[in-house]
Amino acid sequence: MNITIIAIGKIKETFFKESINEYVKRLNSYCSLKIVEIPTEPIIDEKDYKKYKQNEAKKILQYLNLSSYIITLEILGKQLDSVSFADKIKYISNSGINELTFIIGGVNGLDESICRKANFKLSFSKMTFTHQMMRVILIEQIYRAFKILNNENYHR
C-alpha cells in the first residue's frame, strides 16, 4: 500500500524528527510512506484566518490524488481504537484501493473544501494537538496498525 501524509507546517524539533524517522524506517517493510510538508501561511491578521485556510487548501490540492482514499484528521471526526484503525486500513486495501492519503491541518484546521473531499474523517481525540505531535502519533498508529494486521508482537 502507498500512504501519503500531507501536513501543514514543518517539523522543527529534533525529537519529533527522530521519532518520525524511526517509524518511517520501521514502516518500510509494510508500505511505501511519503510525507508532504506544506509551509504554513504567515498569519498577518488573526481575524482573516479563513483566508489562510483557503490558501493552504489550494496548496493541499496540488498534492492530493483524488483517486486515493482520503482521510482527514478532524477534531469532530470518528474516533477509533487501534484495532479498528487497523481494520479500516485492511478494509481500504481489500477494496482494491492501494493509495491512502492522510491530511493534517495547520493551526487554523482544514478548510471545508478539503474536508468535503474526505472519504473518512478521523479524530484521535477531542483535545487539540500540535501538527508536529499529531504527525508522530499518526505515523506510530499506522505502524501499530500494520503490526496488528500481520499478527506481530507490538500491540497490547
| Average pLDDT across the chain, whole number | 93
**C-beta separation of 18 from 24 below 8 A:** no
Tens of pLDDT, residues 8-45: 999 999 999 999 999 999 999 999 999 999 988 777 77
- State pTM to two decimals: 0.94
CATH of domain 2-149: 3.40.1280.10
The SS3 assignment for 9 reads coil
The string over 93-103, giving b where at least 16 C-beta atoms fall within 10 Å of a residue's C-beta and e elsewhere, is eeeeeeebbbb
